[in-house]
Chains A and B, each alone.
Chain A
Amino acid sequence: MRLQLQSDMASRTAFLLFFVNLFVSWVSATPLTGGRVLAVIEEQYDSTKYSQFLMDLKGRGYDVKLEPAKKDTLSLFEHGEKVWDHVILFPPKFKGYGPALTPQKLLEFTKLGGNVLILTSPSSIPEQVRELARELDIGLPPKDYITVDHFNYDTVSKSEKHDVILANRPAVSPAVHNYFSGKQDDLIAFRGAGHTLGNGPLLVPLLTAPRTAYTYDSKEDFAYAQDPWAAGTQMQLVSAMQARNNARITLVGSVDMFSNEFFDMKVQKPGSTKPQKTANKEFCRDVAAWTFGEKGIVKVNSIKHYLSNEPNAPVNPNMYRIKNDVTFEIELSEYDIDRWVPFKVPSGDSLQLEFTMLDPYYRVPLLPSSTSSNATTFTTSFKIPDQHGVFAFRVNYKRPYITYIDEKYSVTVRHFAHDEYTRSWDISGAWVWIAGIAVTIIGWIGFCALWLWSAPAAAKVGVKKTQ
């Protein structure tokens, strides 16, 4: 009784807190993963160059603080906790970033869940960024290597150097949620250097170089690219690493992409007839939104498993029996800028449930069964294998661009109890044995009756006597 009262109180407090929370979040509209942004930028002059991008961030509820890289008091942590939720690194004017932004500190920051957006320019890639990139298995070109493309350059800016590359958004893929493949005819202006990616599953390309682009040493004397550093679609312009804790590090090969100049620029490809506005503003917003966890965040609201054929079966029991029919449900939501929306699995992909004991015994697709305003329920049913032991329901959904889902719930699978087997009379092979027992019983009863009440037959007595 008292316990119930307490829980009632607790739920009331939770309810109240929820409303307070709602109110607070409505007032401040803080982004999901926190709004404290540190922008490491050298001078006031620079910040005006990127004011549109920074204002856009502020408009979305971020509290952006601009700090020079070498400031003494600059620190990512206080008392072991991160003091920023996100960090934007603009390329430094000087050689490096200072002691607060070493690769170790940045990795420590991501370990605590912080996101990092690194903007580089070919003329200044500090050693800290190089070292970090090496750890992430991203190959950065040496200093002063720039990427050019003689097919997809901007003709409006009259640059003889062909260094403003016009890249297209990545193609829409049926198998992944690519948050960067928007309108396919968008042109994204890029001036900087591409990089290469290793084979790890945590690395994802956000913007790929055109087929004819290549990176060469701009300080090279040779009049032609004898030994380009990288070329073609194997080269990336913007890529990211999503760590196992879902912290994101995005590396952009061109800081100019994020500048007001490129946001407002009208560009024209050689051969096209009229100039077109760049999609840099939208693309850079996408990059920042994804990196700072406004997009591609998927959460599990609830998980249910129960016996399929029983209407009053308990939900999430600890034990099942072999050959039970079981239904498993998982409810997923996806965060989209400012609210939770139902999560959709791409058509070419599959959300899978595994039923494992050491190895998966089942790996079956979970299909959407119902959708509410902010969540989708995915369901599947299967028959538990005829193997007893401790099994786990596991949803291991790790895909590029979205946060990783790895849910695991153990249940015991027991054998048939002695009274759950098929009864012997239902087994035709047992009929002979059952009949044998029946015959024995009837014979015994008959024998008892004879023993008790039979009168000797005269002729037989004679036989007995002769024996």
Chain B
Amino acid sequence: MRSTMSSGMSFWTFFVLAFSSFVGAASGAWTFEDAQAVVAAKGGKADTYKFSPTQPVKGALTLGPKDILKISLTVKEDSKVGRPHQAFLLVQEPESKVETFFPLSVKELSGKAKVDLSHKDLPAFLLTAPSLSLSLVLGSFGESPASIVTIGGVEPSLDPTSKALLEKQKQKDIGEGTTVYKAKDEIRYVFRADPQSPPKIITLAFLLSVLAGLGGLFVVWFPILGGNLSHLPKALKAAPISHPLFFASLLSLEGIFFMYYTQWNLFRTLAGMAVVGPVALFSGSRALREVRARREKGER
């Protein structure tokens, strides 16, 4: 692949060679003269731009959808007219270096060469590019050095609807849908948001109100309603085993629930229940019988 840089270089070597072979005269370099580029609009208005091997057209030519770019020149092998085997107009998209070629039609006797370029000649890929560079290649068999010269640039102008169509065509041309073996875009999984707790201050306020409820309950029970544990010695005297055992079994039932909540599994919990449950049942029935006895005695 040769860039414009190297085409400039070969141009330079072409000069050197042209000079060195000047004496020989038999093999001049391929060059051209009387070159002009005409952008002809459909209406008949035509702008003419002159260019030469050393001076490309200044600025980019705008090529509208109905315009035709007509390039005409006289090909010369050194000083006399000739017809090279290769006379191509190269149209390149400078960024991707994608290039296509248009052979010039050359008259053998006069060396007059011309090529027409319009939108329908250009593939969609080039047509949708913002700018294109034009180069002229002249070369043939034999000793005469070939030349490649940048002659100017073209900016195709498109109306939006045809641009959209061409973009589609371009995607199709460059193989839309066909796999390209290359690294794909990275993907990182975005996790769902973690569940959120309400602000701690609100939680604490409600927590406090719940605890206050318990406090309130005890306040109502003991100072207001006069709850007391005065019958405890009496109860212990009447049923010394079942009362502590019943109360302890109630506490241990809660303890088992607490263990289940923190670390035990269900089976261990059930085993615990199986031990404590009957104790609570039997000691409870004794203890409550004692309570009933007190009531029947009129002490409650």
Contact = CB atoms under 8 A, between A and B. Distances in A.
A164 to B, nearest CB: 12
A138 to B, nearest CB: 15
A17 interface: no
B149 to A, nearest CB: 12
A33 interface: no
Nearest to B298: A456
B260 to A, nearest CB: 12
B287 interface: yes
Interface in A148-174: 148, 150-151, 160-162, 171
Nearest to A227: B103
Contacts of A446: 217-218, 221
Given A223-B85, A385-B191, A455 B214 contact: no
Contacts of B230: 453-455
Contacts of A354: 187
Nearest to B190: A385
Contact of B88 (A214, A430, A457): A214
A400 to B, nearest CB: 6
B17 A271 contact: yes
B105 interface: yes
B270 interface: no
Interface stretch (B32-40, B49-57, B154-162, B173-181): B173-181
Q: Is the interface of A mostly helix, strand, loop or mixed?
A: mixed
Interface string A429-457: 11110011001011101101111111111
A199 B99 contact: no
Interface string A229-269: 00111100000000000000000000000000000000000
B97 interface: yes
B137 interface: yes
A386 B195 CA distance: 13
B45 interface: no
B226 interface: yes
A228 B103 contact: yes
Given A162-B141, A352-B186, A363-B187, A199 B178 contact: yes
B83 interface: yes
Interface in A397-435: 398-400, 427-432, 435
Most buried by B among A226, A432, A439: A432
Interface in A168-216: 171, 175, 199-201, 208, 210-212, 214, 216
Interface string A336-376: 00000000000001101011000011111100000000000
Contacts of A443: 214, 217
Contacts of A442: 214
B30 to A, nearest CB: 8
A5 interface: no
B178 A200 contact: yes
Contacts of B142: 160
Contact of A228 (B101, B254, B299): B101
A22 interface: no
Contacts of B5: none
Interface string B167-208: 000000011001111111111110110000110100110110
Contacts of A452: 231, 235, 243, 246-247, 287, 291
Nearest to B294: A455
Given A214-B88, A234-B99, A445-B254, A432 B207 contact: yes
Interface string A11-55: 000000000000000000000000000000000000000000000
Contact of B181 (A148, A212, A231, A399): A399
A431 B209 CA distance: 12
Interface residues of A, number: 74
B2 interface: yes
Contact of A451 (B87, B101, B213, B291): B291
Contact of B214 (A208, A216, A323, A439): A439
Interface string A74-97: 000000000000000000000000
A409 B228 CA distance: 71
A161 B141 contact: yes
A212 B221 contact: no
A379 to B, nearest CB: 16
B186 A364 contact: yes
B140 interface: yes
A151 B10 contact: yes
A436 B210 contact: yes
A364 B185 CA distance: 9
B178 A233 contact: no
B178 A449 contact: no
B99 A435 contact: no
A349 B183 contact: yes
Given A231-B101, A460-B225, A150 B140 contact: yes
B127 interface: no
Nearest to A200: B178
Given A175-B182, A212-B139, A429-B197, A439 B203 contact: no
A224 B175 contact: no
Interface in B94-130: 97-101, 103, 105-106, 108
A150 B299 contact: no
A201 B198 CA distance: 55
Given A453-B232, A459-B226, A400 B197 contact: no
Given A431-B203, A455-B231, A233 B243 contact: no
Given A452-B247, A457-B225, A232 B101 contact: yes
A149 B87 CA distance: 12
A100 B141 CA distance: 41
A363 B210 contact: no
A459 B187 CA distance: 78
A419 B234 CA distance: 47
A270 interface: yes
Interface in B234-281: 235, 243, 246-247, 250-251, 254, 257
Q: What 6 A-B pairs are tightest by C-beta distance, nearest first?
A: A150-B139, A457-B226, A199-B175, A429-B197, A150-B146, A455-B230
27 contacts: A150-B141, A151-B146, A201-B178, A201-B180, A212-B139, A212-B148, A214-B101, A224-B140, A225-B85, A225-B103, A228-B86, A228-B88, A271-B145, A352-B184, A352-B186, A361-B187, A362-B187, A362-B189, A399-B182, A428-B198, A435-B210, A435-B211, A441-B254, A445-B250, A452-B231, A453-B230, A454-B227
Given A430-B197, A439-B214, A452-B247, 17 more contacts: A150-B146, A160-B141, A171-B1, A175-B183, A212-B86, A212-B137, A212-B148, A214-B101, A216-B85, A224-B106, A271-B17, A364-B188, A365-B186, A399-B181, A431-B203, A445-B250, A457-B227
